[in-house]
Structure 1
Amino acid sequence: MADGEEVTLDGRPLHLLRVADLKAALESRGLAKSGQKSALVKRLRGALMLENLQKHSTPHATFQPNSQIGEEMSQNSFIKQYLEKQQELLQQRLEREAREAAELEGAFGAKSGDFGNLSHLEGIWVKFRRIWVI
């Protein structure tokens, strides 16, 4: 709808509708139906404009924003080297923490289930690999 066009419901301008008609139209759209007539008109106008916009917009079901970024990143050798290095450093850190946890288990006789933090780090590692594996 252009700026100069008046929003209508069933061909009638909203400001000419009765309050009961405005409330019925708002209720059918699941919107609040309380307030003065000017508030009802404003609320219904917004809903009708949104409906009109949704009706006339074309969905881009096949378009995914940033879908090419992963492909471009894998072709950039600098980024690929950086991600590989970060992956290697994270793996080393996880191995070191696992060793330290094993040493603590041996020293204090703790059970492997007592180290919830380690399983949390392993979960992070799995998520990191899913995101950054090229």
Structure 2
Amino acid sequence: MADFLGTDANPSLDGILYPSVQGSEGKLNVVLFHKAARVQALDIPKGAEISADLYVETEDGLEIDYSVWEEVPPESPSATSNRDPLDAREPEDYNGRVPTLRLNISSLRVHRVNHIMFHTESHTVRRHRFEKRGAEF
């Protein structure tokens, strides 16, 4: 269904909104179809090494501390790219989708889910058994 909506629907759709079961009434979830869900690549210098930490050790033990570290090589005069934009890309680099999403790295946050509560309704299931009878013509 999602494949059809993402490729063949008229008018063209980038995604759908649907009622959320996690929130109260009126809250919505969104799903973006593959064609509309490409994230713009971050501008990270060639040769940079990226690492991430989830915790920091203190005298009281481990404490949550989400951090990303970028170790970049020293700038050199030849650091600017001389790559011709018309040159053929390597197959692993190619992605024909237009970037539609961008990370705002200055406002990233991690939300840990500590508790989820579901409100449910219980319904019985009735079961019936009967003997087949031939057609009476």
Structure number with higher relative contact order (C-alpha < 8 Å, ≥ 6 residues apart): 2
TM-score, structure 2 as length reference: 0.22
Greater Cα radius of gyration, structure 1 or 2: 1
Structure number with the higher strand fraction is 2
